[in-house]
């Protein structure tokens, strides 16, 4: 096997120029490169660089290993290629096809060179397949990693954006919640609210759940935890924005909210908060006349 | 061995926890505080835990115990300045400390204590 294995690098190296020409022609013919905004010259350039890297690395053994530092050059090239193609709008299979399409020209060369040695030909094809498959799969892996990191970043941003704590009045905070509450979000909500309570020295927080589509036992439990934590720090919570259906759900689920002040609307909750702070709102005579 | 300082403030006692509470320190505080309440006839206890960054279930229970003991000795307890992380931990541990009064800071705690004491103050012994 080892004796025969040495044939493939020699053949690829010897016919590098022909393989490249053939490969680029095949890629241009298939038309898959037009899916994105890739220029023909760029495709030629990338193909040439990849093949050159492959030829200079092919003697290191057939098994591509992403963790092996020997392959770091080719790994970085493929990672860059995969990322740039991902941003150009290529699908992962189109990116992998870039590598896989190299098989055909190499097979053609092997066939003509090893015409009279069927065993060496079969081995050579097997090695080429192994190598190019692992390289192609690696591009898919990188593509997926790039996508996942984008998703993770967006998720984080979403969590940060969706938990604003606003000061309604000196000493009264409001936390308008929008969207489904899961454990991770509740943790962020809880921390943000408690930190703002300390920072502003507020003694009342209004948690408005108008924008929360459904309340199940888990969400209610999260809410109650937030309320208890705020109470431990010496602040009162009022839950507002409870829609009729939500009120029904809460009772049907047997959730006990009696420990918390609840109001149907944010304005009711604000009125209660003002009352607890010993404040009253009065309309001025001039304002009433104008209004 | 370090002790948690207990300062007298009129008819109230101010306990400021400045170091991380370990179990032995909490036990000592419990002894010291009950003794001090009896000795000074204090009517209110203010426990400032703003410097406390870590709690476990034991410390959480100790706070509850101290409050219960003070109540038996006719002193009202207010815990002030709990850090957000500490509050979250206590809630996650299932210790929501029922029956303990809390306030955001020492100022608010003193005001709360005054209000509570004024309300229960009628008919009490004044010298």
- What pLDDT sits at residue A206? 95
- Distance set, CA B87 to CA A229, B94, B101 (Å): 5, 11, 14
- What pLDDT sits at residue A266? 92
Is A290 among the domain residues? no
At A220 the three-state DSSP class reads helix
Quote the number of domains for chain A: 2
Same structural domain, A152 and A170? no
Asked if A201 lies within 8 A of B102 by C-beta distance, the reply is no
Asked if A191 lies within 8 A of B84 by C-beta distance, the reply is yes
Count of beta carbons in the 10 Å neighbourhood of residue A156:
11
Same structural domain, A148 and A25? yes
Low-confidence winner among A17-26, A165-174, A273-282, B41-50 (lowest mean pLDDT): A17-26
With tokens 């403030």, the residue in question is: B9
Is B100 among the domain residues? yes
Give A 70-89 residues with CB within 8 A of chain B.
none
CA-nearest of B18, B17, B12, B16 to B45 is B12
- CATH number for the domain that contains residue A214: 3.30.750.24
Report the alpha-carbon distance of residue A164 to residue A176 in Å, rounded: 7
**Which of A168-172, A286-290, B16-20, B90-94 is modeled with the greatest confidence?**
A168-172
Asked if A233 lies within 8 A of B96 by C-beta distance, the reply is no
Q: Give pLDDT tens digits for B9-60.
A: 888 999 998 887 788 888 888 899 999 999 998 899 999 998 888 888 888 8
- Report the run of H or E that residue A5 belongs to, with start and end: helix A2-5
Asked if B82 lies within 8 A of A232 by C-beta distance, the reply is yes
Q: What are phi and psi of A281, to 5 degrees?
A: -105, 125
Give the 3-state secondary structure of B23-55.
Answer: HHHHHHHHHHHHHHHHHHCCCEEEEECCCCCCC
Same structural domain, A127 and A182? no
Same structural domain, A153 and A172? no
A235 touches chain B (CB under 8 A): yes
Q: In A, which residues are within 8 Å of B88 by CB distance?
A: 187, 190-191, 194, 229
Q: In A, which residues are within 8 Å of B55 by CB distance?
A: none
User: ipTM, 2 decimals?
Assistant: 0.72
User: Taking CA atoms, what residue in A is nearest to B60?
Assistant: A232
- CATH number for the domain that contains residue B60: 3.30.750.24
Low-confidence winner among A152-156, A234-238, B17-21 (lowest mean pLDDT): B17-21
Contact present, A173 and A208 (Cβ < 8 Å): no
CA-nearest of A35, A47, A44 to A106 is A47
Is A259 among the domain residues? yes
Provide the domain limits for residue A205: 166-280
With tokens 């431990």, the residue in question is: A232
Looking at per-residue pLDDT, the higher value among B84 and B2 belongs to B84
Same structural domain, A136 and A69? yes
Asked if B108 lies within 8 A of A228 by C-beta distance, the reply is no
Is A289 among the domain residues? no
DSSP letter for A6, please.
Answer: T
Provide the domain limits for residue B110: 6-120
- What pLDDT sits at residue A64? 61
Quote the number of domains for chain B: 1
């Amino acid at each position: 096997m080892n004796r025969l294995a040495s044939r493939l690098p020699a053949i690829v190296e010897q016919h590098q120029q022909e393989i490249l020409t053939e490969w680029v022609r095949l890629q241009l013919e298939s038309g898959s490169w037009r899916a994105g905004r890739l220029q023909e010259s760029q495709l030629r350039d990338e193909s040439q660089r990849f093949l050159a890297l492959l030829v200079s690395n092919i003697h290191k053994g057939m098994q591509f290993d992403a963790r092996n530092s020997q392959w770091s050059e080719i790994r970085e090239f493929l990672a860059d290629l995969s990322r740039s193609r991902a941003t150009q709008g290529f699908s992962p299979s189109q990116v992998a096809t870039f590598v896989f399409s190299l098989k055909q020209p190499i097979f053609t060369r092997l066939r003509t060179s090893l015409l009279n040695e069927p065993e060496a030909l079969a081995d050579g094809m097997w090695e080429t397949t192994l190598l190019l498959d692992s390289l192609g799969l690696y591009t898919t892996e990188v593509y997926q990693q790039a996508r996942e990191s984008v998703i993770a970043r967006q998720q984080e941003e979403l969590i940060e954006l969706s938990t604003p704590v606003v000061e309604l009045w000196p000493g009264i905070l409001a936390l308008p919640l929008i969207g489904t509450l899961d454990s991770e979000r509740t943790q962020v909500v809880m921390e943000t609210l408690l930190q703002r309570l300390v920072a502003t020295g507020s003694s009342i927080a209004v948690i408005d759940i108008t924008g929360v589509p459904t309340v199940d036992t888990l969400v209610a439990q999260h809410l109650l935890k937030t309320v208890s934590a705020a109470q431990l720090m010496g602040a009162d919570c009022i839950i507002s924005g409870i829609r009729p259906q939500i009120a029904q759900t809460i009772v049907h689920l047997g959730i006990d909210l009696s420990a918390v002040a609840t109001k149907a609307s944010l304005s009711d909750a604000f009125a209660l908060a003002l009352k607890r702070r010993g404040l009253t709102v009065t309309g001025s005579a001039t304002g009433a006349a104008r209004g | 061995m370090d002790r948690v300082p207990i300062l007298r403030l009129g008819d109230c006692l101010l306990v400021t926890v400045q170091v991380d509470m370990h179990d032995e320190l909490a036990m000592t505080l419990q002894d010291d505080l009950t003794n001090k309440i009896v000795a000074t006839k204090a009517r209110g206890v203010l426990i400032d835990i703003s410097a406390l960054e870590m709690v476990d279930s034991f410390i959480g229970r100790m706070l509850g115990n101290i409050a219960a003991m003070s109540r038996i000795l006719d002193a009202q307890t207010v815990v002030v300045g709990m850090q957000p992380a500490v509050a979250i931990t206590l809630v996650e541990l299932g210790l929501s400390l029922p029956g303990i009064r809390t306030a955001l800071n020492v100022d608010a705690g003193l005001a709360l204590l005054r209000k509570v004491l004024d309300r229960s103050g009628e008919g009490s012994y004044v010298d």
